[in-house]
């Protein structure tokens, strides 16, 4: 079984997220999504989410492409996640291109093109109008 992993906040889940999850799942048989906790988002990214971690986790678990959702609590956990879950392919959006190449020692690293016309940042800007 080929295992794939991806990371993200997935706040205000939208079709760009679904597109990424679908394409990530197409690279393997089992997709692990590592979801940023509220504390990690605030303390490390200075991001406040609209939905709580538990709400975002439930949304992701309802997506048919997702097999497992686990918490992201630090930047450093990626190597241990890849090893613990026996990951074959690490997937991120291409806005992170090159940032996770250090994982190539442990698995294949793939950067997928983002869906250009949609983002959570864009949605939040539109909602403020």
Catalytic residue from among 2, 45, 99, 104: 45
124: nearest Cα among 38, 63, 23, 47: 47
Residues 31 and 117: their CA atoms lie apart, in Å, by 25
- Residue pair 72/44 in contact by the 8 Å Cβ criterion: no
Residues 2 and 36: their CA atoms lie apart, in Å, by 23
Q: Bridge partners of 92?
A: 111
Beta strand pairing status for 89-93 and 30-36? unpaired
| Cβ density class 36-55: b for 16+ within 10 Å, e for less | bbbebbeeeeeeebebebee
Catalytic residue from among 2, 22, 25, 47: 47
45 is catalytic: yes
22 is catalytic: no
Active site residues: 45, 47
């Amino acid at each position: 079984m080929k295992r794939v992993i991806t990371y993200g906040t997935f706040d205000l889940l939208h079709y760009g997220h679904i597109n990424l999850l679908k394409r990530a799942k197409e690279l393997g048989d089992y997709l692990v999504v590592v979801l940023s906790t509220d504390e990690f988002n605030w303390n490390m990214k200075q991001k406040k989410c609209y939905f709580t971690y538990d709400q975002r986790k439930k949304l992701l678990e309802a997506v048919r492409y997702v097999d497992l959702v686990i918490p992201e609590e630090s930047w450093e956990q990626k190597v241990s996640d890849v090893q613990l879950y026996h990951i074959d392919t690490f997937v991120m959006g291409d806005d992170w291109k090159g940032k996770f190449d250090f994982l190539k020692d442990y698995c294949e690293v793939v950067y997928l093109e983002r869906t250009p016309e949609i983002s959570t940042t864009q949605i939040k800007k539109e909602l403020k109008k």
